[in-house]
């Protein structure tokens, strides 16, 4: 089938709000709840948070808008959307790699993401059984060790989680993805607010605020700045195909600029709220360090829950929240490849997502074994799990983001671009009334951020960060 015949074959979201919920669902996930707090903890707090927000605003938001533009213009899977837009722009085929790289990065991320989400599922059961009540740090670490040292347990949970993703993605855009996010996202927000209230009442909220917002610039290295940028890309789900795929299902009349700002606002808000919740709880129990690393959520938090009032039930709610957030993100990692397989082979959605889940399951075994039988197998000091995480977040996503900003900024056919972004011309920075093509329009600001600020920042941070990682 030609790309033109395929365009729009997957359908569109019911409304702009469904897109907002789906994109927020993709953005808000383990990156906000599990990674953000421990990476902030490892990098000393406030200064890192500041750099993270600067990356979000100056690089993340413009690149996310560019990704949605590409998706909505292409109306296909990222691979075929890029093919369509590259053809329409009369540009080199090398730009089509953006689509391929995104789909591959998505599957690689999903392979280790499903393993961590599986830990979340296990902890729902663990906390429900009451085994963390009154637990100390040592016992919590050995409980976590019992889980990660057992390939069988990890594989069971990883399989269940991937099955949950299959269930949603095989249902298609409206009945699968759309319906799932319309239920999951409101639930997620209610639980998050409930957890925040609990953290304020029972945790050490002041210490958490101090830790997240007080800053010491001296604690920042280039590697930390690279990490902050990688984290901004990861938590916004940009630099790969997920947002492009979701953009392809966006109603034609919805404003891309406004919508993306709403999504990134929600994403940052959740990262901050998650940080406040987790550190309030962590600081309320003496002897727990914020720099506990990836185990922060699975070792330190259960200790805290075990000693707090109603901690057991609250702990169960917390891990349900983690799994919901991970689920609504994981489906966006599977969707780009699924849409492409349907377009390319004519498979049904079910067959396409089943084949991909099988493929991801196999790659995921590498991450499963990184915690037990294969923990000594290291390349350049990384286990397979750490390597995949570093490679995707700190290398693939920034390179994808750079390529997207250069393509949309300089290469994409201007008519295609303006068709998607015309509404931004109506908002002038200086005038309240619409002023088409005013040089102060938000589109000009966006153009400038996309063409110069984002590529220069990504390249500089990338080179310095990699250099720093090699030297240290």
Residues lying near ligand PFF in the complex (CB under 6 A) are found at 26-27, 29-32, 106, 109, 234-235, 237, 240, 242, 329, 332-333
- Given the complex with ligand PFF, which of 228 and 424 has the nearer CB atom? 228
Residues 6 or more apart whose CB falls under 8 angstroms from that of 376 comprise none
Report the residue number whose CB is nearest to ligand PFF.
Answer: 31
Work out how close the CB of 405 gets to ligand PFF at its nearest, in angstroms, rounded to a whole number: 17
As a whole number of angstroms, the distance between CA 42 and CA 23 comes to: 28
- Given the complex with ligand PFF, which of 32 and 383 has the nearer CB atom? 32
- Given the complex with ligand PFF, which of 3 and 64 has the nearer CB atom? 64
Residues 6 or more apart whose CB falls under 8 angstroms from that of 433 comprise none
Work out how close the CB of 204 gets to ligand PFF at its nearest, in angstroms, rounded to a whole number: 26
Work out how close the CB of 239 gets to ligand PFF at its nearest, in angstroms, rounded to a whole number: 8
- Alpha-carbon distance values, 11 to 168, 388, 434 (Å): 15, 32, 32
- Given the complex with ligand PFF, which of 268 and 284 has the nearer CB atom? 268
- Given the complex with ligand PFF, which of 67 and 126 has the nearer CB atom? 67
| Cβ–Cβ under 8 Å, residues 196 and 188 | no
As a whole number of angstroms, the distance between CA 83 and CA 76 comes to: 10
Work out how close the CB of 444 gets to ligand PFF at its nearest, in angstroms, rounded to a whole number: 29
- Given the complex with ligand PFF, which of 335 and 442 has the nearer CB atom? 335
As a whole number of angstroms, the distance between CA 369 and CA 74 comes to: 39
| Cβ–Cβ under 8 Å, residues 377 and 385 | no
Work out how close the CB of 34 gets to ligand PFF at its nearest, in angstroms, rounded to a whole number: 8
As a whole number of angstroms, the distance between CA 129 and CA 123 comes to: 10
Positive/negative CA dihedral, 158, 161, 167, 170:
negative
Cα–Cα nearest to 442, from 424, 463, 461: 424
- Given the complex with ligand PFF, which of 117 and 368 has the nearer CB atom? 117
- Given the complex with ligand PFF, which of 242 and 442 has the nearer CB atom? 242
- C-alpha torsion angle, residues 453, 456, 458, 459 (rounded to 10): 180
Work out how close the CB of 29 gets to ligand PFF at its nearest, in angstroms, rounded to a whole number: 3
As a whole number of angstroms, the distance between CA 152 and CA 21 comes to: 35
Q: Which two tokens stand for residue 166?
A: 């299959």
- SS3 letters across 35-104: HHHHHHHHCCCHHHHHHHHHHHHHHHHHHHHHHHHHHHHHCCCHHHHHHHHHHHCCCCHHHHHHHHHHHH
- Given the complex with ligand PFF, which of 231 and 308 has the nearer CB atom? 231
Work out how close the CB of 164 gets to ligand PFF at its nearest, in angstroms, rounded to a whole number: 15
The DSSP-derived string for 129-168 is TTTTTT--HHHHHHHHHHHHT-HHHHHHHHHHHHHHHHHH
Work out how close the CB of 434 gets to ligand PFF at its nearest, in angstroms, rounded to a whole number: 34
Work out how close the CB of 430 gets to ligand PFF at its nearest, in angstroms, rounded to a whole number: 35
């Amino acid at each position: 089938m030609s790309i033109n015949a395929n365009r729009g074959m997957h359908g569109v979201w019911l409304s702009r709000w469904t897109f907002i919920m789906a994109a927020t669902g993709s953005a808000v996930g383990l990156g906000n709840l599990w990674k953000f707090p421990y990476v902030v903890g490892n990098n000393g707090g406030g200064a890192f948070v500041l750099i993270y927000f600067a990356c979000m605003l100056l690089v993340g938001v413009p690149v996310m808008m560019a990704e949605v533009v590409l998706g909505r213009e292409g109306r296909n899977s990222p691979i075929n959307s890029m093919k369509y837009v590259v053809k329409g722009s009369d540009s080199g085929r090398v730009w089509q790699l953006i689509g391929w790289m995104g789909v591959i990065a998505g599957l690689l991320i999903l392979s280790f993401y499903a393993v961590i989400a599986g830990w979340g599922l296990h902890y729902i059961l663990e906390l429900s059984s009451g085994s963390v009540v009154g637990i100390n740090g040592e016992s919590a670490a050995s409980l976590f060790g019992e889980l990660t040292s057992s390939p069988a347990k990890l594989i069971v949970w990883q399989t269940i989680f991937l099955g949950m993703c299959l269930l949603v993605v095989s249902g298609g855009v409206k009945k699968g993805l759309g319906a799932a996010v319309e239920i999951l996202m409101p639930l997620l927000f209610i639980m998050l607010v409930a957890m925040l209230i609990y953290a304020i009442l029972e945790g050490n909220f002041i210490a958490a605020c101090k830790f997240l917002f007080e800053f010491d610039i001296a604690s920042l290295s280039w590697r930390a700045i690279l990490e902050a940028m990688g984290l901004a890309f990861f938590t916004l789900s940009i630099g790969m195909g997920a947002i492009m795929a979701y953009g392809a299902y966006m109603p034609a009349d919805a404003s891309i600029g406004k919508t993306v700002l709403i999504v990134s606002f929600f994403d940052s808000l959740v990262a901050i709220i998650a940080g406040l919740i987790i550190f309030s709880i962590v600081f309320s129990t003496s002897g727990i360090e914020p720099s506990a690393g990836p185990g922060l959520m699975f070792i330190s938090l259960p200790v805290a829950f075990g000693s707090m009032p109603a901690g057991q039930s609250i702990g169960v709610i917390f891990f349900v929240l983690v799994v919901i957030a991970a689920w609504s993100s994981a489906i966006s990692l599977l969707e780009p490849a699924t849409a492409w397989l349907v377009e390319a082979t004519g498979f049904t959605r079910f067959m396409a997502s089943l084949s991909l889940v099988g493929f991801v399951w196999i790659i995921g075994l590498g991450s499963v074994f990184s915690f037990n039988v294969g923990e000594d197998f290291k390349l350049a000091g990384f286990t397979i799990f750490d390597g995949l995480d570093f490679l995707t977040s700190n290398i693939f996503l920034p390179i994808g983001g750079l390529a997207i900003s250069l393509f949309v900024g300089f290469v994409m056919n201007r008519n295609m671009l303006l068709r998607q972004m015309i509404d931004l011309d109506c908002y002038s920075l200086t005038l309240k009334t619409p002023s088409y093509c005013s040089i102060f329009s938000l589109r000009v600001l966006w153009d400038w951020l996309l063409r110069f600020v984002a590529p220069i920042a990504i390249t500089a941070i990338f080179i310095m960060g990699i250099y720093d990682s090699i030297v240290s």
